[in-house]
Structure 1
Amino acid sequence: MSEMLGSLTRRRVLKLTGMTAIASALETVPAMAEAGPDHTLTIAPYSLEISARRFIKTIAYNGQVPGPLLRLREGVPVTIGVTNRSSDDEIVHWHGLFLPPEVDGAMEEGTPHIPAGSSASYTFTPTPPGFRWYHTHTFAGRDLKKGLYSGQHGFLMVEPRENPARYDQEFFLALHDWGASMVGSDDGSMSAVYDSSTINGKTLGFGEPLRVKQGQRVLLHIVNTSATDVHWLALAGHQLRVVALDGNPVPAPKAVSMVRLSPAERVTAEVEMNHPGVWVLGEVRKHVMAAGMGIVVEYADRSGKPVWQQPQTLEWDYLWFSAPGPIESARGEPSAEINVTVIPLVFQSKFVGHGAMDRWLINGRSFPDTETVALKQGQRYRLVLKNKSMDDHPVHLHRQTFELRRLAGRETQGILKDTLLVSAGTEAEVEFTANRPGLTLFHCHQQDHMDMGFMMLFLCS
């Protein structure tokens, strides 16, 4: 299969692998018209006002950025109707859900595009519970208004069947960067830089504040929807108690001064509203906050200029939240009793030429020439992620949750994620059980890296 893929472009892969899925996906449209979908999304051009009289022309869902919050119930089938009123083919990926490849939202797996001017529907049973999100999964290349550079992202919450957590308030926050341009670095490669950054589509001070009351317990669901950039976030005057990563509860919740999110990562944090005032929740790095990434948090009966307290260092470590000792992991069995197959994956870049974006390689090959790795259903696998490049990579595994087992030489267990930042020059190891048949996409979630070949497929049978 890998030899066949080697002769194809990314678009050709869609046309061949998606043929059977196209029929099944579009067959649901008449039924959708009869019964009506549970939710609808319309993809269309939109002019987003990020600050007073400053507009960004983009593509969005339902005429808003972020798109509407979709609250789904674990195990309850749902149909989502999507209409594409943009000028290009589009696709919607349901990030973090355990879905069949024909509806997961990646053309490399076989999900069909929705042609311009057409409609389709996605019917699936949402699982696992937790904070997920949805977004476009298209090629952008040098068009920095397409793909994840655009406003096509939204919140998705899968409510658990039993014992949902209760909070006085919860807020959903999307971090995003705008006005991208490609700039050359000293080594001749190209990378994206931005002139504006927002939370929920607004710059600091322009959008409505988060209004809270003293004594409340507030839950913040934060997602980094940026096409390429990592973000650090802090709430002045308060600690953030991290309770979940990528929507999955952590073994050891911990109060921290700030959180770090690479592209596609989510952090869920509790905040005890015990310090009345008007505060800033914003990007820790001064130049990014200056570009607009912040939002006001306002206590009832308080007014005045929002207060920011500048941290002096950047602090974050996944292992803060790992299990404190030997445990049975989320797979329900002690690690020592599991037969694990190791798959090494080496990340490198290939310089193409001055003014060109680097090609990205996994085990020496760039998609669609990367090897499609065969998996046996029910087998446990450990991915050894060796980043030999000079860039950090937020790697994402579709249709699965993996367990972090080793990071930069340190053992760990119990942290479940679907996206992991593998820092430049380091190694990480993650494990998952192959229990979802069909094609599964693995890629860097940085748009320019993905576009330039940082992808591969697993095939479970």
Structure 2
Amino acid sequence: MDRRHLLKMGSLATLGHLARPLPLFAQQPKADFELRIAPVQVDLDPQRSISTIGYNGSAPGPLLRMKAGKPVTVDIFNETDTPELVHWHGMIIPAEADGTEEEQSPVVPPHGHRRVTFTPGPSGLRWYHSHAMAMDDLHKGGYTGQFGLVYVEDGNDKGSYDQELFLTLRDWEPFFSGSMEDDDDDTHDAPMLEKPPKINTDPNGLEVVSVAYSINDKALGAGDPIRVKQGQKLLIHFCNASPIENRRVALAGHTMRVIGLDGNPVPKPADRSSVFLGAGERADVEVIMNNPGVWILGGTEKMVREGGLGCIVEYAGLKNQPKWIDPKKELWDYTHFALPQSTQPVPKNVIDMHFEKLPRGMGKFNVWTINGKPYPHENEFVLQRGERYRLIMRNWTDDAHPMHLHRHLWEVVEMNGKKMGGLMKDTVVVPYYGRAVVDFTADQSGLSLFHCHIQQHMDYGFKALFRTT
């Protein structure tokens, strides 16, 4: 074969290559947003660097600003060796886009791509994170750095602020332990209306814990401080992005006015010395900077704060040693931010649940059950579309559980026997041996996942599917 024939064949091969169909995403218009799932390094401080999986080269991933009611497309590229799922927490969107295997959302394949399209809403602070199961692999799912915030804007004026801050609470390098004290639930002083007459005293299984923490990607003392001036008004958006713990945070020397929970305006804004957030919960707070100094904003538990859960707030012209003052003891109670009772009729449909823990129910790990059974609950919770439902959550365990229902908002109408109304949330902490009651409308067809937002609890049985027909 002569050189001319080789060149001709090469040209035909090139033309053939160009003629082959391009990947589907290459034929589509450019997406509004792009997320790349890939290994990242998080430098918590000069002595600690974490290797994990994140979005777009960082953890947390980029803040995504969307407009309520305006459809968006998101290209998700998975540059890892395992399938992934990106869940849009707090969004009311179709199950296909919601990003959960249980709802039959398609996965993002290893070294593959998926485009999702949805209409963002409701407005307010939402977030996105991996919804892959981890089980006993602490380098998967929620234990990685796959999390980031979404702010859905509706065009309405939210007020005049000198600074707007987005702060995620996070723990790192999780490990299994059977001995560490669990002080995160912060609800032991609340009424224990659901405490069983007989407590299971079998030895507890291993649980996931951590001793390394950060706000955003920096541990306390690392990174730049939050610089403020006297008299400024700050709007702070908090998100507890931990897959492990509930947390309480405070800004030493200052009061925080809670104006929103889970991205939704509260009926009654209220001043608090600290804010308690279950895993997955968010809070919007206003702070008037009226106490000049150099202060610590961080976790109220000394060990957690000194382990990194904090940042420095520095008034202009001051370079003092950062100061911490314990906030006054306050019971965190949703009723502080709610109306005395709901203005909606009491739903005729009632779903009554009780939560239990089976110590070492799966080898060295605990199993979590709803109404005596772990996931799956085949055809157990079947809802009629458009109907209103009352969900009674009875916690028969010694943990405070942040319960989340995908693709719906619910109204909290009772907490430990106290009536309330008007408070709309997507994640509700059911207290230690306590009870929470919420009302919601089954307005989303198909499957909706209900689960505890602590990753290990969810992985080991603490979830159920609601089927709306």
Contact 2:252/2:327, CA 8 A, preserved across alignment: no
Of residues 102, 119, 126, the one that matches 1:125 is 119
The within-5 A match list for 1:253-332 is 253-311=269-327, 313=329, 315-323=331-339, 325=340
The alignment partner of 2:360 has SS state of: coil
The alignment partner of 2:398 has SS state of: coil
Contact 2:347/2:439, CA 8 A, preserved across alignment: no
The within-5 A match list for 1:362-381 is 362-369=370-377, 371-381=379-389
Displacement of 1:159 in angstroms is: 0.3
TM-score with structure 2 setting the length: 0.88
Contact 1:42/1:61, CA 8 A, preserved across alignment: yes
The alignment partner of 1:270 has SS state of: strand
Q: Does the alignment pair 1:160 with 2:176?
A: no
The alignment partner of 1:67 has SS state of: coil
Task: Classify 1:38/1:320 alpha carbon distance in 2 versus 1 (closer, same or farther; 3 Å).
Answer: same
The within-5 A match list for 1:92-131 is 92-131=86-125
Task: Classify 1:32/1:251 alpha carbon distance in 2 versus 1 (closer, same or farther; 3 Å).
Answer: farther
Task: Classify 1:377/1:178 alpha carbon distance in 2 versus 1 (closer, same or farther; 3 Å).
Answer: same
Q: Does the alignment pair 1:448 with 2:464?
A: no
The alignment partner of 2:365 has SS state of: coil
Q: Does the alignment pair 1:45 with 2:34?
A: no
Task: Classify 1:366/1:62 alpha carbon distance in 2 versus 1 (closer, same or farther; 3 Å).
Answer: same
The one-letter amino acid of 2:29's match is A
CA distance in 2, matches of 1:368, 1:262: 24
Contact 2:355/2:371, CA 8 A, preserved across alignment: yes
Report the counterpart of residue 341 of structure 1 in structure 2.
349
Displacement of 1:355 in angstroms is: 5.9
The within-5 A match list for 1:3-18 is none
CA distance in 2, matches of 1:295, 1:83: 32
CA distance in 2, matches of 1:208, 1:160: 31
Larger Rg: 2
Of residues 358, 364, 373, the one that matches 1:356 is 364
CA distance in 1, matches of 2:136, 2:25: 39
Task: Classify 1:455/1:354 alpha carbon distance in 2 versus 1 (closer, same or farther; 3 Å).
Answer: closer
Report the counterpart of residue 421 of structure 2 in structure 1.
413
The alignment partner of 1:68 has SS state of: coil
The alignment partner of 1:288 has SS state of: helix
TM-score with structure 1 setting the length: 0.89
Cα deviation, 1:331-359, whole Å, max 9, x if unaligned, reads xxx423x5431100111122335961111
Between the aligned residues of both structures, percent identity stands at 44
163-172 or 118-127, which deviates more? 163-172
Report the counterpart of residue 88 of structure 1 in structure 2.
82
* Aligned residue pairs, count: 426
Could you list the runs of 5+ residues in structure 2 that have no partner in the other structure? 1-22, 180-201
CA distance in 1, matches of 2:378, 2:336: 34
Contact 2:338/2:421, CA 8 A, preserved across alignment: yes
Could you list the runs of 5+ residues in structure 1 that have no partner in the other structure? 1-28
Contact 2:394/2:436, CA 8 A, preserved across alignment: yes
Q: Does the alignment pair 1:392 with 2:415?
A: no
CA distance in 2, matches of 1:270, 1:290: 25
The alignment partner of 2:28 has SS state of: helix
The alignment partner of 1:131 has SS state of: strand
CA distance in 1, matches of 2:54, 2:353: 35
Displacement of 1:388 in angstroms is: 1.0
The alignment partner of 1:349 has SS state of: strand
The alignment partner of 2:237 has SS state of: strand
The within-5 A match list for 1:183-262 is 183-185=177-179, 187-262=203-278
Aligned-pair RMSD on alpha carbons? 1.8
